[in-house]
Structure 1
Amino acid sequence: MTLFQGFRFALTDFKKLIQAVLFPFWKVILYALFLAGLLVVPLLVEFGETVANLKADAQTITEQMPEFDIQDGALNTQATEGEIYLTDHLIVTFDPAGKRSTEAVIGDAVGNIIAVGLLPNELVIGLPDNAMAESFFDAGHLEIPYTSADMEGFNTATLKEAVHLRIPLWVYLLLFLLVLYPVLLNFLISVLIITLGAHLYTRLRLLRLLFSATFKIVVFASTLPVLVMVALNLLGINYNQLLLMTILTLLVFARVIRAFRQAMTPPPK
């Protein structure tokens, strides 16, 4: 049985999944990597939708903002009053007079809102309060002084150009690789938990399968549950992933063991 056949049997012919015990362990891990990759797809789709929403909001806001540029480390504009622009995903503070503090701008980033502040001497970006943001950025926010070489000459035109840029493909590939490892790790932990229950089931059915053999079958038996989880994630439906995966995988595993026992039972004379 090839890995492709294993995938096909996991969807159409459960009883043949018993052949998974013949796979070397590295092939089983490779198949688990494939399933983890499928689970990453909804995350990439969600990322793409989030980026599209942010771009649309940012384009709307930049059309309303007054002309400005960054020169000699300061925000220059003919506008005398600041403004706060609100959308479903962004809160942008344009504050040449310095009436709002850095902390106030950062405090706007609540829930899934991203806060941006064009203050007199620095650009402030407040990110949503989550572990991922804090792992990449100090304290979950960025403070970029206008004295930075990258900010010199930054103006309304460059801002409008930036919010119309398309996200390059390599960003999605990089995100896929970054997310794949924790998803694979979480998937393997779930499979190990399910394998414990599946191995107990084989003992109750008086089958002496090695734990490693049970693990291999469970990995392939989780194919259909993974596809169901991918579909639910794409639809944005909330559910207990471990519970759903456990129930569906054990149902498939039970079908495999039942078919194997029937094949091993000699016909009555």
Structure 2
Amino acid sequence: MIYYLKLAFGRPKEIYKAKDMKKRHLAAIVALLIFFVTILNMVLIFPTINSIKSDGKEIANDLPEFSVADGTLKAEEGESYIHQTNTFLFFFDPDNQTSSNEIDQNMERLQVPIGIGLFEEEVYVNLSGFVMETPYSQMDDFDNETIQGIFNELGDFSIISYIISFVILYIGLGLFTLFDLLFIILFANLFSRVLRSNLTFKENIKIAIVSALMPTLAVEIASVSNLLSTYTFELKILLSLFFFYLTIKEMSKIKPKAS
């Protein structure tokens, strides 16, 4: 496996030699690629985790007293307001002056990952697109102390929490990475046919995946470093196909085409 990694990052023109790679080495390379992609994205969310802790305490300190009676939020001295931090967009709205759609739109506009709304009859939570709406009628002993306790405990992650987060992120990013590789493989197979390489589909798969290693990691690093935010999917495909093209052309110089 180390040999093929050296080809990918040191001798890209010789990546065609990966056509003879064993299946277990291919699986190990894909697993390792996903591992490094996950590590890079974990580094990206660490500052967010730290912000969640401080921002949560900030919102908890400003929260007015309220209670829930008959499934309705009651706040005698609390008026509707919006509290924005780096990680939260918090709507306290017992008068129903806003809506969940307004939270969603402002989250997208302000690039805030977590949106929370305490409305007259329900709690609305948007976690980067994952939405939960819970009526107060389904909740017991819900008041300002409940919310303050939740916000004050946010960000207090243990080692176990980080491990669980890594596993969840590994699975999620693994699916996205496999999706990217699938497109790269399909386009690479078409490239191979156009170039008349006489490679089998399985051989194209191996060469395409090794060709995708450097572009995938390079694009991920650029994204984490805020050097790149758009067209990352397209860039991964184009760069991977470029390396695939280079190595197939190099192979054609060594291995004559079949007559």
TM-score, with structure 2 as normaliser: 0.74
Offset, 1:224: 1.5
Distance 1:182 1:256 in 2: 26
Structure 1 residue aligned with 2:193:
199
Q: CA 1:162–1:121 in structure 2 vs 1: closer, same or farther (change >3 Å)?
A: farther
Distance 1:247 1:150 in 2: 55
Of residues 104, 107, 117, the one that matches 1:109 is 104
CA contact (8 A) 1:59 1:164 kept: no
Query: Structure 2: 5+ residue runs without aligned partners?
Result: none
Offset, 1:7: 0.7
Q: CA 1:211–1:51 in structure 2 vs 1: closer, same or farther (change >3 Å)?
A: same
Structure 2 residue aligned with 1:60:
58
CA contact (8 A) 1:9 1:16 kept: yes
- Cα deviations by residue, 1:98-137 (Å, 9 ceiling, x for unpaired): 3226x62553232144442335654x1242784xx2xxxx
Q: Secondary structure at the match of 1:165?
A: coil
Of residues 221, 242, 257, the one that matches 1:251 is 242
Offset, 1:163: 3.0
1:100 aligns with 2:91: no
Distance 1:106 1:141 in 2: 13
CA contact (8 A) 2:34 2:177 kept: yes
Of residues 158, 161, 164, the one that matches 2:149 is 158
Q: CA 1:247–1:171 in structure 2 vs 1: closer, same or farther (change >3 Å)?
A: closer
One-letter code of the match for 1:104?
Answer: S
Structure 1 residue aligned with 2:208:
218
Structure 2 residue aligned with 1:182:
176
Greater Rg by CA: 1
Q: Secondary structure at the match of 2:134?
A: strand
Q: Secondary structure at the match of 1:100?
A: coil
1:127 aligns with 2:118: no
CA contact (8 A) 2:92 2:119 kept: yes
Percentage of matched positions with identical amino acids:
16
Q: Secondary structure at the match of 1:109?
A: helix
Q: Secondary structure at the match of 2:82?
A: strand
Structure 2 residue aligned with 1:136:
none
C-alpha RMSD over aligned residues: 3.5
Q: CA 1:19–1:46 in structure 2 vs 1: closer, same or farther (change >3 Å)?
A: same
Aligned residues: 246
Query: Structure 1: 5+ residue runs without aligned partners?
Result: 134-139
1:143 aligns with 2:134: yes
- Cα deviations by residue, 1:153-211 (Å, 9 ceiling, x for unpaired): 9446524432352272112322321332233123222222123113322x1xxx43223
Distance 1:239 1:161 in 2: 35
Distance 2:232 2:147 in 1: 45
Offset, 1:232: 1.5
TM-score, with structure 1 as normaliser: 0.72
